[in-house]
Structure 1
């Protein structure tokens, strides 16, 4: 009898834990439909699929992370929230050529989570960066060409670590965003703006990059930073063949 009761308690516990995990499938469907493999965004498509987006905003608003969530689940939630609300910011003023054409795009408090107003800067600087994982800079996207590409899947607690490594490696080795050759180093300004974040485990920016770069930074003579292209990371995708629930 004791064994049966124990098994029942374990079953109930697992059921409760499963219910506490946030389901990002709505965002997963939205980005799969409207973001290309190389990370370009179809904002027209997001506008057509606005019901899907607003369902996800409601889910985010009503299910803020709490102490029962794992670190990976919390981080995945806030990364997805940042990317989803960046899309909202753009389509609310679409068509627009650049996020910088908008007034105070990062400081504008335009969405609520658990009854509290937030801005994109709140999510990035007050929440995401406090996790102490510099890879988040390659997972969040500011709707611009020079930003790390938008992943066309949702981050989850289960896929987070692999996804962060993949997005970081992709960004560092992308010649559109970083030039790393045996003779020349021209880096994204992300490594300049957030230099402090990359000083982990006693290392520096170069140490961090060398963990992922196909060509290592050593003693290259020519070094500098690329101009940041703030134009919209936009493309047109025909998603008319897909049916939404």
Structure 2
């Protein structure tokens, strides 16, 4: 009996150590960047402080209507991308920025640095071939350097706006499409609504009244999808459906296997 208890204790301890190691390596830190929660409608008018037009032009040129990316084309315009990334680094967010400005800045930074990371390692089959893709500090903002995981988990997920999951792109086929325009403070609410509806109603989810086969994004981040103060993936999906159906709250949910192949134009 004592042996069994010891074995259970050892297994529990090893799992705890493993979990802590994963957390410490997960790039969750915001590095002291300002984080504001979305507490009201984002559609209120704001004046944009940061000019994302360089990134907007690159996206319009190198991302097609299906969200697939011409990485070879991006390589030819690397100097323009570098110029945009330098501008981001020099425009350090502050507490004075609106929540709309912060959302646009960090979403664009995540997506632009993901493209930059792919270009640094191109050609490749998958972002998962890159060691530490989400944990290495590769995003300089002022005198701090963040990881992609830090932007996603340390900043964006803490802003109480689950639509960010459909705006950031991890350079893979199963990711939400990379929007072929830059996010901006003055349009952020409409843009987040657009990408959320597009993803939920697109081919990466299969939805009927009594069963759902969803992207793994809804599994990995299920605690982020809140309706009326409670975690409710089905309620969240219902809110963005184009179809005139209402999913049964007791519908069965399964998930697609995630395709990590590079989201490259063929």
TM-score (norm 2): 0.78
Deviation, 1:201, is: 2.8
| Aligned CA-pair RMSD | 1.6
Q: Which residue of 1 aligns with 2:205?
A: 178
Q: Which runs of 5+ in 1 are unaligned?
A: 1-16, 237-245
1:91 aligns with 2:104: no
**Which one of 133, 146, 167 corresponds to residue 161 of structure 2?**
133
Could you list the structure 1 runs, at least 4 aligned residues long, displaced by more than 6 angstroms after superposition: none
1:70 aligns with 2:103: no
Deviation, 1:38, is: 1.3
Deviation, 1:104, is: 1.3
SS in 2 for 1:72: helix
Q: Which runs of 5+ in 2 are unaligned?
A: 1-45
Q: Which residue of 2 aligns with 1:187?
A: 214
Q: Which residue of 2 aligns with 1:143?
A: 171
Q: How many residues align?
A: 218
Deviation, 1:109, is: 1.0
Give the conservation status (yes or no) of the 8 Å contact 1:182–1:220.
no
**Which one of 122, 131, 138 corresponds to residue 110 of structure 1?**
138
Q: Which residue of 2 aligns with 1:230?
A: 260
Give the conservation status (yes or no) of the 8 Å contact 2:163–2:193.
yes
SS in 1 for 2:121: coil
Deviation, 1:184, is: 3.3
**Which one of 24, 32, 57 corresponds to residue 52 of structure 2?**
24
Compare 161-170 and 67-76 and name the one that shifted more.
Answer: 67-76
SS in 1 for 2:135: coil
Q: Which residue of 2 aligns with 1:217?
A: 247
Residues in 2 aligned to 1:183 and 1:116: alpha-carbon distance in whole angstroms = 48
Q: Which residue of 2 aligns with 1:202?
A: 229
Deviation, 1:199, is: 2.0
Q: Which residue of 2 aligns with 1:5?
A: none
Give the direction of change, closer, same or farther, for the CA distance of 1:161–1:112 in structure 2 (3 Å limit): same
Q: Which residue of 2 aligns with 1:41?
A: 69
Residues in 1 aligned to 2:60 and 2:52: alpha-carbon distance in whole angstroms = 12
Deviation, 1:219, is: 5.8
Residues in 2 aligned to 1:150 and 1:217: alpha-carbon distance in whole angstroms = 28
Residues in 2 aligned to 1:227 and 1:186: alpha-carbon distance in whole angstroms = 10
Q: Which residue of 2 aligns with 1:7?
A: none
Deviation, 1:180, is: 0.4
Q: Which residue of 2 aligns with 1:55?
A: 83
Q: Which residue of 1 aligns with 2:3?
A: none
Deviation, 1:221, is: 5.6
